[in-house]
A and B are shown apart, each in its own frame.
Chain A
Amino acid sequence: MFRNRREGLALALPAAIFSTLLFLVPVAILLSEAFRSDTGFSLQGYVDFFASPLNRSVFLRTLKLGVLVAGSAAIIGYAAAFCIVNLPGKARGTVFGMVVLPLMISPVARTYAWIVILGRTGIVNDAIVGLGLSASPIRLLFTETAVFLGLLQLFLPLMIISLVSAMENIPRDVIPAARVLGASWLNVFFKVILPLTKEGLVIGGTLVFTGALTAYITPAILGGSKVLMLETLLYQKVNVSNDFVSASVIAMILIAMSFAANLVLKRIATARS
């Protein structure tokens, strides 16, 4: 119409320039840091990083926890989403609201609760000691289990939301129809529900996995320096040892892992059909 491109660019560019200058350029420089050396391009930073057993174990732990959290979230998410979708209208809105709500609340608050639950004098230890399962409180905080629980609690809602909206798009009578045709519930899940919701699974899976990779507060509070993850390791590298090359490597790994997760999940989803 009477809309010309110059006008459009004038409207869009401030945001783009802002993002470029304050985000893209600095991040790009940071990422390039590990590739630079006195002699020009170099991969030494990466070689050094992975030469350290500690770094390797943190990398693997991050990967493992990310996969575990995303996998558990998918399993619980399917069960919960299926139940939510089958609820009558009003109850459904309320339950869905209760699932979304935690997302709005400070992750510090959400993580802190686990200290109360898992701490030396927390309810779990009270129960263990009270039941005589152990003479003294056992260490639950600063374990991978604690970090796992914290991350799962933090990101499960994202999976449930993605799966609920995917399931809402399943035509109404498909599942009863499959049942009538003699499919077992397991069959219904793998032959009907899963194929029809795989996009939701991809979105939810990516969100949860990426979220778990890049969460800082949860591993910081519940893992401490005993259970480092890449984010907390990055913080240490910068704040304790001023090691910006390692920080740059970790940054690259985190970004690459998020992208890879999305690609892999998409691949799995399309392979199934």
Chain B
Amino acid sequence: MRHFANWGILGLTLIFLIGPFVIIILAGASAGPNLAFPPEGLSLKWYAKVFTIESFRASFVLSMALAVFGTITALVLGIPAAYALNRYDLPGAETIRTIVAAPIIVPGIIVGLALLRYVVVPMNVTVTVALFMAHTALVLPYAVRVVSSSMHNLRADMEEAAVLLGCSRMQAFTKVVLPNIRGGVLAAFILGFVTSFNQVPVSLFLSGPGVRTLPIDMLAYMEITFDPSIAALSALLAFMSLAIVFVAERLLGFSRYV
């Protein structure tokens, strides 16, 4: 009886959480011209159409580039910061931690607007660069937090041992610290990538003519057209995320870091 109730509750919750994706996948596979569920016959034409829409191709490339390079930049800034916050007795460590974590606390739309108004416009920065900076700032807190927590479990005396065995400080970092936080770094990358790729509010104000991230482009497309291609594209993105998470989980038990 208890068992039954358990699965009942879980079943309903999972239907609520996952059901919409099933609907989207099927709606995208409609043979008819309108968004509908159940679909009016099945075909893959909308899935195929997504790839022919020029603006989606461009915005997909932009989103990809932002996610990859923004996250890498965030890691380049974040790994040394995480290391210093863990290993050094820094004056103002708490302040630095708060500053670096702050972009998580403040709503993305505000970050985007503030950047636009006080950095991009006055300094005449191009939209692409602005997006890149915004996405990096957005991912930085995750990079620092995830790398920090994987470094936290790593005893500092291992580096001391390495130095006593002849390493320079830098070698101790690359030969001992880095191999041991590899999982955390990879997890931070994936988390950062997904966050950046799916991000809307930060980019909302920073998109310019012809320069739009994919989610924003989708929002714009939705306002004009009401065909199943957005459903198909959404389904494709969902599959992409699933694939990334699945591979990450297989490789390093990703969920431990989230």
Partner of B102, one of A7, A12, A23, A214: A23
> Contact at B10–A221, with CB atoms within 8 Å?
no
B231 to chain A, nearest CB (A): 6
Partner of B9, one of A83, A98, A100, A109: A83
Q: Which residues of B contact A216 (CB under 8 A)?
A: 108-109, 200-201, 204
> Contact at A109–B238, with CB atoms within 8 Å?
yes
> Contact at B113–A113, with CB atoms within 8 Å?
no
Q: Which residues of A contact B109 (CB under 8 A)?
A: 214, 216, 231, 234-235
Q: How many chain B residues touch the partner (CB < 8 A)?
A: 84
Q: Is B178 an interface residue (CB 8 A)?
A: no
> Contact at A117–B37, with CB atoms within 8 Å?
yes
> Contact at B119–A26, with CB atoms within 8 Å?
yes
> Contact at A98–B231, with CB atoms within 8 Å?
no
Within 8 A of B (CB), among A85-144: 86-87, 95-110, 112-117, 119, 121-123
> Contact at A97–B110, with CB atoms within 8 Å?
no
> Contact at B99–A117, with CB atoms within 8 Å?
no
> Contact at A27–B110, with CB atoms within 8 Å?
yes
Of B48-56, B84-92, B179-187, the one touching chain A: B84-92
B252 to chain A, nearest CB (A): 15
Within 8 A of B (CB), among A16-63: 16, 18-20, 22-27, 29-30
How far, in whole Å, are A103 and B10 apart by their CA atoms in the complex? 17
> Contact at A8–B84, with CB atoms within 8 Å?
yes
> Contact at A98–B80, with CB atoms within 8 Å?
no
Q: Is B6 an interface residue (CB 8 A)?
A: yes
Q: Is B18 an interface residue (CB 8 A)?
A: yes
How far, in whole Å, are A25 and B123 apart by their CA atoms in the complex? 14
Q: Which residues of A contact B108 (CB under 8 A)?
A: 214, 216
Of A194-202, A247-255, A265-273, the one touching chain B: A247-255
Partner of A27, one of B36, B83, B93, B114: B114
Given contact pairs A12-B96, A109-B234, A123-B38, A19 touches B140 in the complex (Cβ within 8 A): yes
Partner of B34, one of A14, A80, A121, A214: A121
Partner of A102, one of B18, B35, B85, B117: B18
B-side binding surface: helix, strand, loop or mixed? helix
Q: Is B137 an interface residue (CB 8 A)?
A: yes
Within 8 A of A (CB), among B112-134: 113-115, 117-119, 133-134
Within 8 A of A (CB), among B217-235: 218-219, 222, 230-231, 233-235
> Contact at A15–B80, with CB atoms within 8 Å?
yes
A-side binding surface: helix, strand, loop or mixed? helix
How far, in whole Å, are A13 and B258 apart by their CA atoms in the complex? 25
Q: Is B29 an interface residue (CB 8 A)?
A: no
Closest to A93 in B: B255
**B222-258 CB contact bits vs A (8 Å, 1 = yes)?**
1000000011011101100110110001000001001
Q: Is A227 an interface residue (CB 8 A)?
A: no
> Contact at B118–A30, with CB atoms within 8 Å?
yes
Given contact pairs A23-B103, A255-B105, A104 touches B9 in the complex (Cβ within 8 A): no
Q: Which residues of B contact A102 (CB under 8 A)?
A: 17-18, 21
Q: Is A240 an interface residue (CB 8 A)?
A: no
Q: Is B68 an interface residue (CB 8 A)?
A: no
> Contact at A15–B81, with CB atoms within 8 Å?
yes
A228 to chain B, nearest CB (A): 13
Q: Is B144 an interface residue (CB 8 A)?
A: yes
Chain B residues at the A interface, C-beta cutoff of 8 Å? 6-7, 9-10, 13-14, 16-18, 20-21, 23-24, 27, 34-38, 77-78, 80-81, 83-85, 87-91, 93, 96, 99-100, 102-103, 105-111, 113-115, 117-119, 133-134, 136-137, 140, 144, 160, 163, 169, 194, 197-198, 200-201, 204-205, 215, 218-219, 222, 230-231, 233-235, 237-238, 241-242, 244-245, 249, 255, 258
Chain A residues at the B interface, C-beta cutoff of 8 Å? 1-3, 5, 7-9, 11-16, 18-20, 22-27, 29-30, 76, 79-80, 83-84, 86-87, 95-110, 112-117, 119, 121-123, 152-153, 156-157, 160, 213-214, 216-217, 220-221, 231, 234-235, 238, 244, 247, 251, 254-255, 258
What are 28 A-B contacts with C-beta separation under 8 Å? Answer: A7-B88, A12-B85, A14-B80, A15-B81, A22-B119, A26-B114, A26-B115, A27-B110, A30-B110, A30-B113, A86-B6, A99-B13, A100-B255, A106-B197, A106-B198, A108-B198, A108-B200, A116-B24, A117-B37, A122-B36, A153-B16, A216-B108, A216-B109, A234-B110, A235-B109, A244-B117, A251-B113, A254-B107
Per CB-CB distance, the 6 closest pairs between chain A and chain B, nearest first, are A8-B88, A113-B20, A109-B234, A26-B114, A214-B107, A15-B81
